[in-house]
Amino acid sequence: MKAEFIAVVNKLEEGRSLDKKEYRLLIESACDETFDFIREKAIKVRGKIYGRGVYIRGLIEISNICKNNCLYCGIRKDNGLCQRYRLSDEEILLCCKEGYDLGFRTFVLQGGEDPFFTDDRLCGIIGQIKSRFSNCAVTLSLGERSTESYERLFKAGADRYLLRHETADKSHYERLHPSDMSFENRIKCLYELKSIGYQVGCGFMVGSPYQNSDTLAADLKFIETFEPDMCGIGPFIPHRDTPFGEMPAGSVFLTCYLLSIIRLIKPNILLPATTALSTLDKNGREKGILSGANVVMPNLSPESVRGKYELYNGKAHSGAESAQLVKELCRSMEKIGHSVLTERGDIKK
């Protein structure tokens, strides 16, 4: 290992901050040896704060109807081959009930930007979840909405919001999204969510088309300065019915390497081992946890719609990806020396 690399890692450990050039050096140095070096430090800082516990979140995919046309995404508006669905209030509450009985204390309502889910409707759903399961956290992952909407949903009881920034480089953002979406608005939404009081998650895909070490360095710098409570990263996986259908998938290795770096930037961050990671590698979840992740998000959506929320081809939704198999998940975490925690799992400050 080069002395320069070690010096930069030490600087990150001590000050939790690097300039973009230094982040680029870390990214460009990725190999087995540097990964082991960084990973060990990442696991150590995580251990001091969270021990060996892994938080679980029940993911409920409430709608795959979306008004946007993100070039990478399988549920983009123009994908006429996607079978659309949305869940009713009753179905969503049933998922929560089932999840609650399985031990979940966080429900993540995720969906495309579906105009059917108005503020009134969502406030009603959130209110019901919070009154029936008052010791649970509600996380929303419903894309870009107005300030007023974010405020109303927060007042209704939502605790957290996930909105991946997708890339912190404006020109890269514009190559991944159609011209009616804006980088500025994406970032504005994130800052707004934070100032309203949500615990906020950002994130990006690893290996998205046109990504390079510069754009990745910008992502890391963004995470450092924005200080999210959560950060979702997973490999890009092409979906055949999108403009990026022929693009190569991202790397499991680089995803894990970046998980370790993000843990070092923000030791107390909540970092999921994502479904995309498990989709590309049957041991992806374990690898993610062993790289510094401390959250997993099994799927609580009704069996009948699960295959339809296909952001990318082959999306895993059975086995330990399915919330019904919490026991299997516990076993797999125990095998690698970790234990599943059934508590809300807020960020430790």
Contacts to ligand 5AD by CB under 6 A: 72-73, 164, 166, 205, 234, 236-237, 239, 276, 311-312
For residues 257 and 253, give the distance between their C-alpha atoms in angstroms, rounded to a whole number.
Answer: 6
How distant, in Å, are the alpha carbons of 110, 192, 212 from that of 149? 16, 11, 35
- Name the nearest CA neighbour of 315 among 238, 243, 209: 238
C-beta of 54: minimal distance to ligand 5AD in Å? 21
- Name the nearest CA neighbour of 323 among 295, 294, 296, 341: 296
C-beta of 8: minimal distance to ligand 5AD in Å? 28
C-beta of 135: minimal distance to ligand 5AD in Å? 27
Between 72 and 150, name the residue whose CB sits nearer to ligand 5AD.
72
Between 143 and 157, name the residue whose CB sits nearer to ligand 5AD.
143
Q: What's the token pair of residue 233?
A: 């990263």
C-beta of 97: minimal distance to ligand 5AD in Å? 25
CB atoms under 10 Å from CB of 164, counted, come to 18
C-beta of 189: minimal distance to ligand 5AD in Å? 12
Between 164 and 338, name the residue whose CB sits nearer to ligand 5AD.
164
How does 168-193 read in b/e, with b if 16+ C-beta sit within 10 Å? bbeebbeebbeeebebeebbebbebb
For residues 239 and 177, give the distance between their C-alpha atoms in angstroms, rounded to a whole number.
Answer: 15
Between 311 and 323, name the residue whose CB sits nearer to ligand 5AD.
311
Residue whose C-beta lies closest to ligand 5AD:
312
C-beta of 120: minimal distance to ligand 5AD in Å? 24
Between 8 and 256, name the residue whose CB sits nearer to ligand 5AD.
256
Distance of CA 19 to the CA centre of its chain: 24
How distant, in Å, are the alpha carbons of 60, 172, 309 from that of 69? 22, 16, 15
Between 38 and 75, name the residue whose CB sits nearer to ligand 5AD.
75
